[in-house]
């Protein structure tokens, strides 16, 4: 029996489909489903697959069998308790169901009772599946929770009925691969067994959404490849281990991003200095700018900056999710609160966080859930310390840059005054005339001319580069945001301490709202950084 890896992100393939499938059609349908699994596997060589199925008769069962035959783990999502669910199977179907159920890597329950059980299963699969595969005859649904109903919920990202609000699952917008499936005893649809992709109508053209989904798959696979470079630490809570490993990869990529940024700034300054000094051959500036462009090309090719930012976002989401889980905050998914408006290139971050919740938290209450749990308490304290240090760090960086700029301008001003005094009455013509006065030798006159303009010009170049760096890093904005978040965590920390001493209050609500505030702040940071990408500075 294949197991679900806990050290990386799996790509979840959800299954929905008709129960009444003729036995003669099953081999062709299994081949079509296997072809989809093969294609996804080729696109994501570093990413394991997980099939999510309700194990109903027909499509659910044949898809689970095909996955197991390929050593792909299957997670069963049952619409009701097993004893009740078995009443919906014929004797032959029941034997098949029991065999599959015993071979599943994990079994979860979408609903504790029959009422709305199938609707809950459809919503569960529509929420957690990264890709939904539907065995469908392309006709309207026969009832709530049917195949067409699940497809519509998936493509539109919303529930259809108001009477299922007690079900905690919220379908996510995503693609659907439709396998045209004949139903036993019904007219056969055109092009049976064909695979037809359907995409949400987020944009005017489906090709745009298709490209976005391909980009999502690429990002997921790259993340898993990067994650494999960091050994899995020993931790009681898998979410905590994944968070630490993701943070470690983000730190490594951040160092590379900063190194390339410094290279760009250094060579931009060197090229500007070569231009200002004047005696350097023009080819030198071209070479310096060429090195800067080469560094920029390498950094963009390997996408260090975006990968670092995305992994930091995942680590932050896992940090909050782990705190909620240990505090006993139930049925609160980070991805529902985080980057919800992002349905394009950043959607994969929410997909990753949703899978980690499915893997570590769904249907699994923490045995020692409490707001006094060490992981929850450590999260509050560590974030309190981080925002206090971070606001001071941004302020100190700005102060040092301002000091260096002022010092450079002062040095340039002193050089200018010295040269002006030394030139005396010939000072005005030193700017406009290349001819040396008789009072100075040609070399001395040229040296004084350079002293008049070069230091102050270099100071201006340095000031421009520092201003560009501060604008890109948004140092002032970050400082203010960190100060606000420090105040939020400080207030929450004090409130939790008062509640622990007997003051009335709900600590779970405080932890939940604190997590939401942290997610909102980090989402703003991520979008801001995306709006300020690395670029070559030409001055």
Per the rule left: phi > 0, alpha: psi between -120 and 50, beta: everything else, 194 is beta
Residue 1 included in any domain: no
| Residue bearing the bigger pLDDT, 520 or 144 | 520
Residue 122 included in any domain: yes
CA distances to 92, 314, 335, 449, 478 from 321, in Å: 42, 10, 9, 64, 24
Average pLDDT over residues 67-81: 95
- Largest CA-CA distance found in the chain, in angstroms, rounded: 114
CATH classification at residue 175: 3.40.50.450
Which two structure tokens, joined as six digits, stand for 391? 């606001």
Say whether both 188 and 267 belong to one domain: no
Which two structure tokens, joined as six digits, stand for 56? 């109903």
Say whether both 201 and 243 belong to one domain: no
Supply the range of the domain harboring residue 32: 11-227
Residue 431 included in any domain: yes
Say whether both 431 and 394 belong to one domain: yes
Say whether both 295 and 177 belong to one domain: no
pLDDT-wise least confident of 73-77, 146-150, 484-488: 146-150
Q: What are phi and psi of 462, to 5 degrees?
A: -60, -40
| Residue bearing the bigger pLDDT, 227 or 451 | 227
pLDDT score at 204: 46
Residue 199 has pLDDT above 60, yes or no: yes
User: 74-78 and 49-53: which strand pairing?
Assistant: parallel
Residue 358 included in any domain: no
Percent of the chain with pLDDT over 70: 88
pLDDT in tens, 443-477: 776 777 778 778 888 888 888 888 888 887 788 88
Say whether both 120 and 34 belong to one domain: yes
Residue 146 included in any domain: yes
CA distances to 34, 49, 127, 396, 512 from 14, in Å: 13, 11, 9, 50, 29
- Given 227, 259, 281, which residue is the final one in a domain? 227
Confidence of residue 331 (pLDDT cuts 50, 70, 90): confident
Say whether both 155 and 263 belong to one domain: no
Residue 335 included in any domain: no
The SS3 assignment for 195 reads: strand
| Residue bearing the bigger pLDDT, 514 or 432 | 514
Confidence of residue 436 (pLDDT cuts 50, 70, 90): low
Say whether both 108 and 249 belong to one domain: no
User: How many domains are contained in the chain?
Assistant: 2
DSSP string computed for 407-428: HHHHHHHHHHHHHHHHHGGGHH
| Residue bearing the bigger pLDDT, 384 or 523 | 384
| Residue bearing the bigger pLDDT, 425 or 105 | 105
pLDDT score at 500: 86
Confidence of residue 363 (pLDDT cuts 50, 70, 90): confident
Residue 293 included in any domain: yes
Residue 485 has pLDDT above 60, yes or no: yes
Residue 374's nearest CA partner among 330, 316, 326 is: 326
- Given 227, 258, 274, which residue is the final one in a domain? 227
The SS3 assignment for 279 reads: coil
Average pLDDT over residues 511-523: 90
Say whether both 309 and 209 belong to one domain: no
Residue 344 included in any domain: no
Say whether both 395 and 519 belong to one domain: yes
Say whether both 242 and 221 belong to one domain: no
Say whether both 15 and 160 belong to one domain: yes
Instruction: Give, as one character, the DSSP assignment of residue 46.
Output: T
pLDDT score at 142: 63
Say whether both 394 and 432 belong to one domain: yes
Average pLDDT of the chain to the nearest whole number: 85
- Given 227, 246, 277, which residue is the final one in a domain? 227
């Amino acid at each position: 029996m294949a197991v679900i890896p806990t050290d990386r992100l799996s790509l979840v393939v959800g299954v929905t489909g008709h129960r009444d499938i003729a036995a003669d059609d099953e081999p062709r349908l299994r081949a079509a489903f296997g072809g989809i699994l093969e294609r996804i596997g080729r696109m994501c060589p570093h990413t394991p697959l997980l099939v999510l199925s309700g194990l109903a008769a027909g499509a659910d069962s044949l898809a689970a069998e095909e996955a197991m035959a390929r050593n792909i783990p299957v997670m069963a999502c049952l619409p009701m308790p097993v004893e009740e669910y078995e009443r919906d199977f014929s004797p032959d179907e029941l034997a098949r169901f029991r065999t599959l159920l015993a071979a599943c890597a994990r079994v979860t329950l979408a609903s504790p009772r029959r009422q709305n059980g199938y609707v809950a299963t459809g919503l569960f699969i529509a929420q957690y599946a990264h890709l939904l595969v539907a065995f469908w005859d392309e006709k309207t649904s026969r009832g709530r929770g049917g195949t067409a109903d699940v497809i519509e919920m998936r493509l539109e990202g919303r529930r259809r009925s108001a009477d299922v609000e007690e079900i905690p699952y919220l379908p996510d917008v995503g693609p659907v691969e439709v396998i045209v499936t004949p139903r036993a005893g019904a007219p056969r649809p055109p092009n049976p067994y064909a695979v037809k992709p359907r995409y949400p109508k987020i944009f005017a053209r489906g090709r745009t959404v298709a490209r976005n989904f391909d980009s999502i798959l690429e990002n997921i696979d790259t993340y898993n490849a990067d994650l494999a470079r960091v050994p899995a630490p020993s931790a009681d809570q898998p979410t905590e281990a994944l968070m630490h490993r993701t943070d470690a990869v983000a730190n490594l990529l951040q160092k590379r991003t900063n190194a390339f940024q410094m290279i760009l700034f250094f060579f931009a300054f060197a090229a500007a200095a070569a231009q200002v000094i004047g005696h350097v051959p023009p080819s030198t500036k071209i070479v310096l700018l060429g090195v800067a462009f080469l560094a920029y090309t390498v950094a963009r090719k390997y996408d260090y900056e975006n990968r670092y930012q995305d992994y930091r976002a995942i680590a932050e989401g896992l940090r909050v999710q782990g705190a909620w889980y240990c505090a006993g905050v139930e049925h609160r998914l980070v991805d529902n609160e985080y980057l919800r408006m992002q349905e394009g290139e950043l959607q994969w971050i929410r997909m990753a966080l949703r899978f980690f919740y499915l893997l570590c938290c769904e249907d699994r209450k923490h045995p020692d859930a409490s707001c006094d749990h060490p992981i929850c308490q450590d999260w509050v304290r560590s974030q309190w310390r981080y925002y206090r240090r971070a606001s001071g760090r941004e302020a100190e960086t700005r102060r040092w840059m301002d000091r260096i700029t002022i010092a450079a301008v002062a040095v340039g001003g002193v050089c200018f005054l010295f040269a002006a005094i030394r030139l005396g009455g010939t000072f005005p013509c030193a700017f406009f005339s290349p001819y040396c006065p008789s009072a100075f030798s040609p070399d001395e006159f040229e040296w004084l001319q350079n002293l008049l303009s070069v230091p102050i010009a270099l100071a201006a170049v340095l000031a421009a580069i520092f201003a560009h760096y501060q604008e890109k890093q948004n140092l002032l904005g970050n400082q203010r945001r960190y100060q606000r978040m420090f105040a939020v965590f400080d207030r929450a920390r004090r409130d939790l301490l008062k509640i622990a001493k007997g003051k009335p209050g709900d600590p779970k609500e405080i932890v939940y709202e604190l997590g939401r505030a942290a997610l909102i702040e980090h989402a703003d940071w991520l979008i801001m950084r995306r709006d300020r990408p690395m670029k070559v500075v030409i001055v």
